């Protein structure tokens, strides 16, 4: 990942880029609204070197889950769960902007993540 | 596993009651059914309708969701039944196609099983509780309501449409 060089500096948010961005390659859409998210590990989940990310406000939570899974290099059979307020796990189709409106604090959205070997 | 990871019946009833109160505030329709004599039989349930689309066909499904206490594992457990508009119970295979995550048969069937419900003694689809404790123990300290947290394990499998206000 291109961000690896600046992992030491976790105070600035860098953008999550993914293959998914190629799909909506509208030339005029470069000024998308970004939301800062802070990813925190709980339980036995490995920590992320870079915790703060700027994410397209229109992305669903499921997309962030996939990103974190890739970033942490989880096994395909490991599941990842994202929580807001350490209480509520939003549905994977929920949009980042909606969560930010509801749970955002100090200009960012804090998400806790944990992993498990299985559902249920 | 340390004792912190499991829930006592009393913890469950407290969490269920507070969940019920949040639901009332949001008019979300969850009901709390308390059993004063046998506390472990306390459960919360909701009857609702799910709108699903498969192969371009919209259908409305009647759903019964029940959260009860699993005495052996000491965790909340999730059970449900879904009927189509002619009153026929959905098969596990049909439910698998409705879920957010694409799981193969083997994986899905290892998580959800149709079995006799410990409280109702009728067949229900029950989500296996074997990993629930592990995950809840990770979030237990910070959680405002352990049942809301627990439902996070279910949302990828089944569209629950739980309002975001449960997390506030």
In CATH terms, the fold of domain B3-161 is Yope Regulator; Chain: A, (3.30.1460)
Contacts of B162 in chain A (CB under 8 A): 88, 91
Give the span between the Cα atoms of B148 and B164, in whole angstroms.
10
Question: Which helix (DSSP H) or strand (DSSP E) does residue A90 occupy?
Answer: none
Distance CA B105, CA B94 (A): 11
CA B107 – CA B112 distance, rounded (Å): 9
Neighbour-count burial for B43-62, b at 16+ CB within 10 Å, e otherwise:
bbbbeeebebeeeeeeeebe
Question: In this structure, which CATH number among 3.30.390.30, 3.30.420.40, 3.30.360.10, 3.10.20.90 belongs to the domain A32-116?
Answer: 3.10.20.90
Q: Specify the higher pLDDT residue, B64 or B109.
A: B64
Distance from CA of A84 to the nearest CA of B (A): 7
CA distance to partner chain B, nearest, from residue A27 (Å): 31
pLDDT in tens, B60-77: 999 999 999 999 999 999
Pairwise CA distance, residues B110 & B127, whole Å? 9
B157/A119 touch (CB, cutoff 8 Å), yes or no: yes
**Domains of chain B by residue range:** 3-161
pLDDT of residue B165: 86
| CA gap B34, A28 in Å, rounded | 57
pLDDT of residue A2 exceeding 50, the answer is: no
């Amino acid at each position: 990942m291109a961000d690896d060089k600046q992992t030491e500096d976790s105070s600035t948010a860098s953008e999550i880029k993914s293959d998914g961005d190629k799909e909506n390659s509208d030339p005029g859409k470069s000024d998308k609204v970004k939301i800062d998210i802070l990813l925190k590990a709980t339980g036995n989940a490995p920590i992320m070197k870079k915790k703060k990310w700027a994410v397209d406000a229109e992305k669903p939570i499921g997309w962030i889950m996939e990103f974190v899974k890739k970033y942490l290099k989880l096994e395909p059979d490991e599941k990842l769960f994202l929580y807001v307020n350490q209480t509520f796990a939003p549905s994977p189709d929920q949009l980042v902007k909606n969560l930010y409106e509801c749970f955002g604090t100090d200009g960012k959205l804090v998400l806790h993540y944990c992993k498990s070997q299985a559902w249920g | 596993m340390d004792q912190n990871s499991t829930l006592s019946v009393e913890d469950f009833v407290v969490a269920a009651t507070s969940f019920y109160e949040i639901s009332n505030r949001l008019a979300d329709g969850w009901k709390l059914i308390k059993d004063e004599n046998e506390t472990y039989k306390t459960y919360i349930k909701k009857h609702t309708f799910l709108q699903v689309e498969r192969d371009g066909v919209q259908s409305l499904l009647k759903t019964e969701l029940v959260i009860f206490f699993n005495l052996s594992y000491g965790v909340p457990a999730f059970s449900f039944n879904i009927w189509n508009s002619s009153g026929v119970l959905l098969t596990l295979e049909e439910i698998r196609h409705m879920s957010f995550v694409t799981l193969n048969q083997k994986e899905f069937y290892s998580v959800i099983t149709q079995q006799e419900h410990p409280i109702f003694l009728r067949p229900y689809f029950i989500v296996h509780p074997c990993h629930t404790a592990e995950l809840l123990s990770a979030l237990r300290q910070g959680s405002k309501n352990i049942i809301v947290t627990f439902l996070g394990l279910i949302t990828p499998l089944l569209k629950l449409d739980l309002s975001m206000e449960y997390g506030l």
